[in-house]
Every structure is written in structure tokens, then in C-alpha cells.
Structure 1
Amino acid sequence: MSEMSFILTITSDPLPGIIAAVSTAIVDLGGNITETNQHWDRPANRFFLRVAFVGPEGLTVEDVEEALAPTVDKLGLDLKVVDAARPPKIIAMVSKFDHALLHLLYQIRVGWLRAEVAAVVSNHEDARRIAEHEGIRFVHLPVTPETKPKQEAALLDLVEETGAELVILARYMQVLSDDLTRKLSGRAINIHHSFLPAFKGANPYKQAYQRGVKLIGATSHYVTADLDEGPIIEQDVARISHADTGEDLVAIGRDTESRVLARAVKSHLERRVLLSDHRTVVFAK
């Protein structure tokens, strides 16, 4: 008899009895908790809970939601439940730099990242051969100031058509409109080629090289209307020295970007990231 696997997340006021009520409901369903994480953000006065559990064959998301409905209503919980056995669908967007896309595809291939790539979208043709080699749908949406509204509408249609849960900007070098970022709020992740909030703007590696830095980094964050100001999910740095050239920094930076983006995507898809105003709560495994 096969088990069903679920992940539930809760955001609420820090009220007593939440964990007990959730645990009791899971037990009553015949479930067994495999992992639990919780955090009380005291400055924001918000409580965050993530519970992974397995249940008997035939148990559905709707069953779990129904079992928790009285607690949700009583305590005013923001509850989300997903079927953890189903690989989430994603759309990857890329321009000409393909390192972050290739790393994502590799991590999916080896099973470290559980996802189904519904499409690769690009404003250039360069990534077509990568998508076709992997058997992934490629959508070419060239962007100009005149075509941008039409192309963004086409992207939203693609998200709806494929049922994609996440749009990944894997070095997609176009600024999304405020309207699109609002519609994709909490469902679009970007990789920034710098350790925010430092060396913003153009040529961050050149700025870092000219300043003689000893660390460079990358930042993955949710996309918002405020350019490069979205809630940060994941960051990392790489140590460099005076002997490294500007080209070395670019190579090291691309490696860091790829790893940081993959970790951010994994955390999001495993429902480990919960928003607390402009910050994130990221539950480690």
C-alpha cells in the first residue's frame, strides 16, 4: 500500500494551540509527520509553520484542507496544502547567458531538484538548442518597447496554459513591467549577479574588480516592481584575491549565481520560503 505525501504551510498570528491542532488533525487522518519547522517573527508578530507528512493511500489535498477547516476558521490561519509527490511545473526565462539555466536542468536531471520544466522562454534564439536537446518546449518572445506588453501577455497565457507554479529568471536580461510583477507576485524568482545591496547597476563585477574586493556574491530574490529590491531568498559569496582578473571574477560569479539560484528554487518548490512583509522566512532542511 503506497503512502501519500503532503506539505502544509501556515502563516498566522502567534496564537497558542496551532501546532497541537495541526498535529491532531494529521493523526486523525491517519498521517505521520516527517518534518516540522516553525518560527515566531516577534517584530512582525507573525507565526510561520511548515509541516511535511505522509498519509494513507487515497488521502487528498481536499481531505487535509477539510480536516483543518475548523482550526483555520477558529484561529484565522492562512493555510496552504500541496501534494508533495507531484513535481511542480516551472518556466525558465533566459537571455544569452545560459549558465544558470544549464545548472537548473542538470539538478533536475540528477533528481536533486524535483520539477518539471514546462517551457524555456527567451528573448533570443540562443537557448533553443538547449531546450530542444532536453526535449523541452522553447518559446521565443523577442522584446522591444513596442512589443513588450504583447509579449508579457503571452508569458502570462503560457503560465496559465501550462499550470506553471514558478517563473524563474535565469539571467533573463529584461526588466518586467510593474503590472507583470504584480500578477506574478510570489511566483517569480530572479538571480542577481551581485551580493545585494552592494554594487548595484551595470557591470557589478567591474565595480568589484576596481574596488579590489576579496569577496563576490550572488543574490536570489522574489521579483517585485522595485528593481532588485524583492524579498531575498538565498545568497552566497566566493573568495577571490588580487591575482584574479576581471574575467576570473565573471567566471567565479557565474558559478556562484548558478548555485544560489538553484538553492532558492529548491527552497521555494519545497515550500520552505514564507513571506514576512519584505523579508523571508526560509526553513532549512
Structure 2
Amino acid sequence: MTRPSSSFNRICKLLDYIHAHLDQPLSLDDLAQQSCWSRWQLQRVFQSETGLTVANYVRELKLSEAAEALIHGSARVIDIALANGFSSEISFSRAFRQHFGLSPRDYRKLGRHTGLRKPLQLAQRTPPVSQTPQLMQVRVESAESETFYGLATPIRGLLAAAPDFAEQVPSVWAQFTPLMAHQTPQPLTGVIDVTAAADNDHALIYWATSTLPVSGAERVTVPAQTYAVVKHRGPIALLPQTLAWFIFDWLPQSIYRGVDGFELERYPAGYDGTAVHAEMDYWLPIEIA
């Protein structure tokens, strides 16, 4: 998928922050706060741009700094652990052994560099051709809590390593639509639960829903939230391109950051996802960065 360079620039800034703050814990929450993305989004974008997971990258840099200190200095192991953002000697020693295959003290006795990781030095890419931001319509909306009724399925979304939403989403809508057969056409909403994605191997729950109670459907309540809303024009099959621009380009250039909340796909009554001029809105939870 072609991506604008804004996400690359943001990741470069985040790398600079990581490299300058290796003496701090640098939790995923901390790093997400430094970026424009939610925890889940950051993990996927970071891996997309670097080929590494953010947690492993930070941990390996910290351990490599510690290994240098063990070889070239005489500081106590506990002091080296604390200086590199570990909360205790026990947690440091466990992580050190997992990475180097030796305890800190044995590594010091070995006295030679092995398994060290150095900070990434990324070369700037030539920005690829992308959707023009001026042609996209984005607005910010605050929405009250809302209850929906529908059917759910697990999916792996746009930012997953192996996306399957293109198959799973049409399938759940095909199951839900017959439940609405005896009702007047209503606006429909795809509800994407991203609240646990960062801790659940990036799995999402997708709901095909209506705001009207439907026999055989389950209930899901979305809390009050502020959203950035992008209008997608054209066949629904092209929605991933709009979302890629939204997340990789618009969000990094805005004053907002993503939040792991409930994302919404809002479809008007009678929506035809194959139509060239079809329009729907995608709502992405945000907060001021």
C-alpha cells in the first residue's frame, strides 16, 4: 500500500525521542503520547516503517547500553539497571539473560561486545504519490454515548500484519442484513472495537449494526467520544486507501492523536458500496495531542 511520508517523519521524531530518553521507562503508553497515534496504531505504524516492534526495539537498545556499561565501567548492576530505566535488578537481569543468553555479571566477565543493538539510522524516502489532502473532507465531532444492535465478528484490520477485514466484514454484513428485511431502510453503522487491540495481538471486534433493536441481534454501547471524521467517496473497496491517508498523513499533521476506542463506519440509508459516487463517513476517536 502506498503511504505518504508524514508517518515516516513522525517515526523519525519518535526514534530521536527514544534515543534521547533511554534512561527512562519508555512504556508503550509514554511513546504513544509522544506520537500522534494510539498504542495499537503506533505498534503497527512503527513496525511498518522500521520492520521492528517498538517494545523490542526499546528493550534491546536499553540492554545494549547496559552491556556497554558493564564492559567499560565498574558500576554496580543495580545502578546500571536503574540508569537504563529498569525498575529493579531482578527485572533487568531477567531481560538481559533473555537477550544475551548470559547474566549481567557473566557478560561483564566475558568482556567482549556481543549481541549489541545500535540506534536505527533511517534514510529519508522519496515521498510517493498519494491522495491530495485538499481533496479530502475531515471534520472533528463530539458524539454522546450511543447504543447499537447488531452482529459481531473478530477481524484483523488495516494496520494488522495479516489483514482479513476484506473477507470478514462483508460476511458479517451478509448475516446481519436479512435481520433488517422487514424494516424501512435505515442508516447503518459498522462499529470497530479497538479498545483491547494493543494487548490482544491486534485483533479487533467488528459489529454490523443499526440503531434500532433487531431480533437476534446483540447490543453494543459506544461511550461518548471526540472523533475526526473523514468522508469516503467511491466504492467501499477503496476505503482502505482513504484510511491509510487518514492515519498516515492527516493525523500526523494535525494537532490530534488517535485513541484506542470505538471507530465507526456510518452508512446512509440505501447505501450501495459498489457505486462510484457512494459516500460514507469514517469516525476515528481522537484527542488533543
- With the length of structure 2 as denominator, give the TM-score of the two structures: 0.26
The one of the two structures with greater contact order (alpha-carbon pairs below 8 A, sep at least 6) is 2
**Greater strand proportion:** 1
Report which of the two has the higher share of helix: 2
TM-score by length of 1: 0.26
- For the pair shown, the structure with the greater C-alpha radius of gyration is 2
